[in-house]
Amino acid sequence: MTTEHVAARINAWEVAQRQFDLAADRLGLDAGMRLVLREPRRELTVHFPVHMDDGSVAVFAGYRVQHNLGRGPAKGGIRYHQDVSLDEVKALAMWMTWKCAVVGIPYGGGKGGVIVDPKQLSQKELEGLTRRFFTEIEVLVGPEKDIPAPDVNTNSQIMAWMMDTYSMHAGYTVPGVVTGKPISLGGSEGRNEATARGCVYTIVEAARHLGLDLTTARVAVQGFGNAGSIAARLISEEGATVVAVSDSTGGIHDPSGLDIAKVIAWKQEHGTVQGFPGASDVSNAELLEVDCDVLIPAALESQITSRNAANIKARMIAEAANGPTTPDADEILFKNGVFLIPDILCNAGGVTVSYFEWVQDLNRDHWSEVVVNAKLKEIMVKAFAETLDVARRDDVNMRTAAYLLAVKRVADAMELRGLYP
Ligand code: NAD
């Protein structure tokens, strides 16, 4: 069975709720608070029409979910993928709540998605779908309420269309309604690399903690999009050797190391990493089990499960993706001494620089990349240290530690605000 088949059978929302339950139990969370935090605050489902190039009208389904708004407006990306479901979006929204709390930025959690394979659409159809979807979810979004961003298969051009759509309805330009925009439209320096850069900052901290020399480390990366390809580039700039990478079509492996700049160029030309000269083709399932020191899952949910966790050879897993590891797999990895940097910490660089972008937009300001990266590093290093402290104090894995920190911060905020009315 392929990793995709296994992933399709695992419900991300059940995984997210189980992870929350583990933390709530350990925290001895008040029963009422547990009920509130266990469910999303708002779930919007929309069915919307789009003019197709052949003259027909197609109807698509999409979602925007706000999990919790206790610490600030909702924040979270919008995903375009054929396998998007309401349960997946709910899970991703809940993870955003915890992520923003782990790194201490003043946001709640949200997420959106459209059931579509965007590779099947023309640019005109993609723009039409984006503008109409954003119009439909405008009842929820806004710079003070809910600020979307890119996720799988969405990019800065799509964010530009969303910002323009909202601004046309408002009658003036509202750059703060989405982040991950092009720089010329109020995007932040460093946002495109932020998820991967934050991930690599946490890998550097984890390597120091483990006594692992990154200049001799071998790294495998699953997923070669925004998070994965840039993480591969940045980790090789740290001196590590990237031995395997993959995308949705499969992966490549070269134990002597891949030249990442050349793999990026190859993928641009051929649309896949496979067939890269000098490397052997591997499946996505095989990629996870290659001999390496650091494994970076940077694709979709539920890739590391009870079926393959025991076969993973990496000493460290850095979750650039959201939800790549199931709770059963977590237990196996912890028992086997694999050090895992959980998604809500590891990939929080993306939302952190999204927050910087929003702050710059609201203040009509623009920071240099040096300033952005320095602020990002400070936040990621601090969050890593705080999480590691809890892991050591309570003798728990890094995921549980991050959840203990995050859930407590959110519960404290909710407690202080009180129950309205
Ligand atoms: P992307 O669309 O840029 O890239 C996704 C990559 O994953 C592509 O290379 C695709 O080919 C590959 N992929 C898809 N299905 C796969 C499969 N079954 N096996 C292997 N590879 C597969 O998306 P992205 O923004 O890089 O997001 C990747 C992950 O990182 C997601 O889990 C996302 O939620 C998470 N993430 C992204 C950001 C961000 O700022 N973009 C921030 C935090 C977390």
Q: Where are the domains of the chain?
A: 1-32+188-347+371-380+395-415, 41-185
Distance 262 CA to ligand 1 centre (A): 20
By DSSP bridging, strand 339-341 and strand 316-318 are: parallel
Q: Compute the CA torsion angle 379, 384, 385, 389 (nearest 10 deg).
A: 140
- Res. 16: pLDDT tops 70: yes
Residue 71: what are its φ and ψ, rounded to 5°?
A: -100, 0
What is the mean pLDDT of the segment spanning 77-94? 98
Mean pLDDT calculated for residue range 381-407? 97
Is the overall model pTM greater than 0.75, yes or no?
Answer: yes
The correct answer on CATH 3.80.30.20 for the domain covering 41-185 is: no
Dihedral sign (CA 68, 179, 194, 290): positive
10 Å CB burial of residue 327 (0-12, 13-18, 19+) is: middle
237 by Cβ neighbours in 10 Å (0-12 / 13-18 / 19+) ranks as exposed
- 6 has pLDDT over 80: no
Write the residue with the smallest CA distance to atom 8 of ligand 1: 225
Is the pLDDT at 117 greater than 50? The verdict is yes
Cβ of 222 less than 6 Å from ligand 1: yes
Interval between CA 205 and ligand 1 midpoint (Å): 23
* 3-state secondary structure (DSSP) of residue 148: strand
User: What percentage of the chain carries pLDDT values higher than 90?
Assistant: 98
Which residues are known to be catalytic? Answer: 111
| CA 396 – CA 403 distance, rounded (Å) | 11
Judge contact between 113 and 78, C-beta under 8 A. yes
For 282-302, the pLDDT digits (tens) are 999 999 999 999 999 999 999
- Length of the chain equals 421
**1-32+188-347+371-380+395-415 and 41-185 in the same fold:** yes
Q: 258 with 319: CB under 8 angstroms?
A: no
Confidence of residue 359 (pLDDT cuts 50, 70, 90): very high
pLDDT tens digits, 48-81: 999 999 999 999 999 999 999 999 999 999 999 9
The pLDDT tens digits of the residues spanning 312-323 come to 999 999 999 999
pLDDT in the model for residue 349: 98
pLDDT at residue number 9: 75
Taking CA atoms only, the protein residue closest to ligand 1 atom 34 is 322
Q: Between helices 156-170 and 123-136, what is the axis angle to 10°?
A: 50
Residue 196, both tokens: 């991967």
Q: Is the CB of 347 under 6 A from ligand 1?
A: yes
pLDDT tens-digit series, residues 221-259 = 999 999 999 999 999 999 999 999 999 999 999 999 999
With a 6 Å cutoff on the Cβ, whether 17 touches ligand 1 is no
Q: Calculate what percentage of the chain has a pLDDT beyond 70.
A: 98
The predicted pLDDT at position 1 comes to: 47
Ligand 1 centroid distance, CA of 321 (Å):
6
Please, what is the average pLDDT of the chain?
Answer: 97
**Residues 337-354: tens digit of each pLDDT:** 999 999 999 999 999 999
pLDDT for 358 beyond 80: yes
CATH 3.40.50.720 correct for 1-32+188-347+371-380+395-415: yes
d(CA 116, CA 121): 9
CA angle, residues 206, 246, 369, in degrees to nearest 5: 55
